[in-house]
Amino acid sequence: MVNPVTATESPLLEVDSIGWIFTPRYSTDGKRVVAFWNRPPTPGLYVVSVEGSRADPKQIRLVTGSLTFGSISQSVEAARFRGKEVKLTAHVKAHVRGEGNTGRCWLRVDRPKGQMGFFDNMADRPIHVASWNAYAISGKVDADADRIVFGCFLEGTGELWVDELQLSFRDESSTWIPIEINNPGFEEDNDGQRPPGWSGSRPGYTYRTTSENPYRGKRSLIISAVPLPKDRFMAIAWASDGKYIYAIDEASNIVAIQAGGGDARTIMTLPVRENQTIAGASITPDGRRVVFAVRESRSDVWIIDNFDRAAP
């Protein structure tokens, strides 16, 4: 963001961003920016919400590209549980379809210098059931453990509902004793908010509490993601109502993509000849015309006879 009077610069993104950003486009109300960001591991079109001259790091949404997983997590100090068995119990249901879309929970013990102790993320028993069920993971805390980390995640797309998590340890009498954790039942939030006490941020995923059909109490958590188009897109403009983004795909099609993520609807194919690619495009303010430039990759070789008549 550049002040036209003072020429002072204010970076839109100040997070520890990696990758390159291409063809940023402001929404008509000036509150959002869309751009292609080759941010690993999920390159694609990103929508960034802008407050004044700063982006809100929590409001950076992936609207195209390949989704990985969206997770919530917490951790506790491990010192007093060293050598003991710990258990994570969570009540979960998954509304998922298609290969690779699942729900899971995980429990991990972190040791010094980045070493990992016990770890189980339910890779061999993923959750696909659309009704509330209890799932448990247990393991031993290493003698040099630093922290115990735990949570649940949605892999791929769909919805994962989570409620009533409990972390506990087994004492000398083999009784499971609860370990205090933050906001275990997501009761400390209002509907639609991100859950306080939990970490959770992954492009393309939303995290919100809901009072609809909790397992127990007043609320539960939903982690969700919709299927996203995976082609590489170049953003060219926003629809006047801010609900869609117009972009060009690798086949020179102009498509409309929902600003919240979703399918890419083809509007038209630009008339590009063989050996040409789109170099840039824009839409006129009235939304009725497209202006675009092409670059050619074809080269011609010419033979010219007698160009130097003074030569022998």
The pLDDT assigned to 108 comes to: 97
Q: What is the CATH number of the domain that holds 54?
A: 2.120.10.30
- Would 261 be classed as within a structural domain? yes
Is residue 73 located within the same domain as residue 221? yes
Report pTM.
0.75
Is residue 173 located within the same domain as residue 187? yes
Q: Which of 174, 192, 225 is the last residue of a domain?
A: 225
Domain count, the chain: 2
Q: What is the CATH number of the domain that holds 141?
A: 2.60.120
- Would 183 be classed as within a structural domain? yes
Domain of residue 117, residue span: 69-225
- What residues pair up with 216 in beta bridges, in sequence order? none
Is residue 95 located within the same domain as residue 219? yes
The pLDDT assigned to 194 comes to: 82
Is residue 105 located within the same domain as residue 244? no
Is residue 216 located within the same domain as residue 163? yes
Is residue 148 located within the same domain as residue 287? no
The pLDDT assigned to 131 comes to: 97
- As averages over each run of 10 residues, the pLDDT of the chain (312 residues) reads 84 72 88 88 86 65 87 96 97 94 97 95 96 98 97 96 97 96 90 85 86 94 91 90 91 90 88 84 84 81 72 61
The pLDDT assigned to 149 comes to: 97
The pLDDT assigned to 55 comes to: 62
Of how many residues is the chain composed?
A: 312
Is residue 30 located within the same domain as residue 62? yes
- Would 78 be classed as within a structural domain? yes
- Would 194 be classed as within a structural domain? yes
The pLDDT assigned to 172 comes to: 93
Is residue 85 located within the same domain as residue 196? yes
